[in-house]
Amino acid sequence: MKPFRRKFPFIIVMILLAITVVTTVVMLLWNALLPSLFHFPAITWPQALGLLILSKLLFGGFRGGGGPRQQWKNKMKQRWMNMQPEEREKFMQEWNRRCGGRGPWKQTNPFGPEGPFSAEKDTPAESAS
């Protein structure tokens, strides 16, 4: 417990410093670009902080570890990897039934033969062998 107590003030200072730097960058970018491009008014430092907080609330930014979207993607990737070829085909047919038939997605397998979570295409080392 003692090492954490020694690090705690340092962590707080670093968090406050990061907030200050990011807020200042947002303010400087806003004031450099938006008044001249779109005739918006210049903003103050507290307004820039408010913009950051508002963007956090609206868009869910500043996530560590990817957040719920990344967790869902990892879960679906794991499911896909555990499916048998017949199950994959059934999944793709259902995917097309629900989402297909519009625009360029109208095909048997919109993700290609490997599926939505395939690794990189053939690398030169794999193609040569």
Predicted local distance difference test score (pLDDT) of residue 71: 80
What tokens were used for 9?
Answer: 């003030």
Task: Tell me the C-alpha to C-alpha distance, in Å, between residue 39 and each of 55, 76, 101, 126.
Answer: 21, 45, 43, 55
Predicted local distance difference test score (pLDDT) of residue 105: 45
Distance CA 27, CA 103 (A): 41
Residue pair 24/48 in contact (Cβ under 8 Å)? The answer is: yes
* Alpha-helical runs (H) found in the chain: 2-38, 45-59, 67-82, 85-99, 124-128
Distance CA 117, CA 99 (A): 18
Q: What is the pTM of this model?
A: 0.49
What tokens were used for 40?
Answer: 């918006």
Length of the chain: 129
Per-residue pLDDT of the chain (129 residues; tens, 9 = 90+): 577 788 889 999 999 999 999 999 999 999 999 999 999 999 999 999 999 999 888 877 665 556 677 788 888 888 888 989 899 888 888 877 887 655 444 555 556 656 666 555 444 555 554
What b/e string do you get for 24-44 counting C-beta neighbours within 10 Å, with b at 16 or more?
Answer: eebbeebbeeeeeeeeeeebe
Predicted local distance difference test score (pLDDT) of residue 104: 47
Predicted local distance difference test score (pLDDT) of residue 106: 52
User: Residue 78: how many CA atoms within 13 Å on its side-chain side?
Assistant: 6
